[in-house]
Structure 1
Amino acid sequence: MQSALDQFRVSISRVRDLIALHNSVKAQATGALDISDMLRAALVLAVSALDYYVHEVVTLGMLEIHRGNRAEPKASANATQSAFSRFEVSLGGARQDRLTAIDIAAWLETEIQQAQGYAFLQQTHSVSALIPIISSSIQSRLNNTSWLESEIRKRLGYQSFQQAGKIADAIRYISDKKLWDEVATQMSRSAKDIKQQLNSIVDRRNKIAHEADIDPTFNIGSRWNIDELLVGDAVDFLEMLVESIHQVL
């Protein structure tokens, strides 16, 4: 799951580069040149980096659980199964594993032939000699989760993980911890304040992305005010937030 955090750090670095570019151009340009849209782009990109991080860390975490490398979260008090166990995949995706299990002998023969060569199958071998080969083939098959990864990405791809509630819902697939309480401890702030600030940043992002940041109370073309301090604070907060979430996980 570390790769999800690494990618977030790269994305946030790009955001900071964009803010720095804005500040450099602003210092050299006249006041008549409005370059505030660079800041709007930076804010949208920062929230997108958060969204992508949540998608990635949940996808990778679910694959780790499936492989047995991560513990499955416990079911909540009002549910009989964890969110992970309730996650739905298509029968088409799971069908190939079922077909393999039905004709396991033919599958093993093919796997051993590919790994050891045709001549190996023409020889006589003891069971003890075959066990490591069979075990390796089965282990390799179990670790091949490309179909499941595709299913998870497809299902999660329809969703947005930006608002506090949506992020908590996503994290429940891989963790039973009370996310915002744990993050609040990491950030030394109240969970309520953290969620309010996050949702405020996302609301502003939505104004930019979906409403062209238009302020309808003024004349046509008027936009909500934005400056480098507002965007810088938002980026600092989002960076600290993601680092804290990753520590919790």
Structure 2
Amino acid sequence: MAIRHPQTREFQAFIRNIEYARKMVVAGQNLAAFQSPVIDVGDFYRAAWVQAVSAIDHWFHEELYRRVAELAALDGTEMPHQLTRFELPLAKVEAVQQGSVTLADAVVDHVKAKWANASLQNPRKIGEALKLVTNQNIWEKAARQLKEWTYGRTTITEQTLKKQLVAITDRRNKIAHEADLLDGDLEQRRSITDAEATDAIDRIERIALAIAYVLG
């Protein structure tokens, strides 16, 4: 079932980043036929894996900033509970009172300051960040959305959806921080295939799409 992608600038950037990851997989597939002793095509699949996780991490940040800005700019709009409790530094409050910055800009700037360097790859951290823009349980609703798209043919739950993302990001961390070496081995890398990389990319795209629909 083809699902229409959101047309926001943020999600379109995510799709471009995901397509870049797919092109890395294709590059590896094309080079695999040459069986060169100096090229490990698995490195193309590893790069694609890291790129795909970076794509969803980047999208979560940009989506957070955009939605916070929209909510903060709407006077009288009922805000998510966590956003109403979001504390601003005294310097920001004084700047708003003096009229040198709007309240909306002050809130967005401080949200960026808090979350810019935070990794949004772990389901718990993602849920914590997105509580600023929604009161919904995004993981439960995303799992329900994926079930709806497959007409109930999938048994995915909130917990299994989280486990999928954790498994993908765990492998990403092994690639990025451990050179994807086998545990206790300083020479041999874990095996990786184009099918595994493609499956990880597909799962990441589905997760992002489902959460985008939940957020509305």
TM-score interval for Structure 1 and Structure 2 normalised by the shorter chain: 0.7 to 0.9
Q: Which residue of 1 aligns with 2:180?
A: 213
Contact 1:216 1:222 in 2 (8 A): no
Residue by residue over 1:172-194, the C-alpha shift from the partner in whole angstroms, topping out at 9 and shown as x without a partner, is: 11001111111011111212211
1:11 aligns with 2:17: yes
Q: Which residue of 2 aligns with 1:224?
A: 190
Q: Which residue of 2 aligns with 1:235?
A: 201
Which one of 125, 142, 163 corresponds to residue 183 of structure 1?
142
Q: Which residue of 2 aligns with 1:202?
A: 169
Contact 1:15 1:42 in 2 (8 A): yes
Mapped partners of 1:172, 1:17: distance in 2: 34
Letter in 1 for 2:44: M
Mapping of residues 50-199 of structure 1, within 5 Å: 50-68=56-74, 71-73=78-80, 82-100=81-99, 145-188=104-147, 189-199=156-166
Higher Rg of the two aligned structures: 1
TM-score (norm: length of structure 2): 0.84
Residue by residue over 1:32-71, the C-alpha shift from the partner in whole angstroms, topping out at 9 and shown as x without a partner, is: 6322111111111111111111111111111111011864
Mapped partners of 1:56, 1:158: distance in 2: 13
Pair 71,238 (structure 1): closer, same or farther in 2 beyond 3 Å: farther
- CA RMSD in angstroms, aligned pairs only: 2.2
Letter in 2 for 1:231: A
Give, in angstroms, the shift of residue 146 of structure 1: 4.2
Number of equivalenced pairs: 200
Partner SS, residue 99 of structure 2: helix
Q: Which residue of 2 aligns with 1:22?
A: 28
Residue by residue over 1:124-166, the C-alpha shift from the partner in whole angstroms, topping out at 9 and shown as x without a partner, is: xxxxxxxxxxxxxxxxx85x84444332211101311111111
Which one of 42, 51, 66 corresponds to residue 45 of structure 1?
51
Unaligned runs of 5+ in 2: 1-6, 148-155
TM-score (norm: length of structure 1): 0.74
Residue by residue over 1:197-226, the C-alpha shift from the partner in whole angstroms, topping out at 9 and shown as x without a partner, is: 1100011011111111111244x3111111
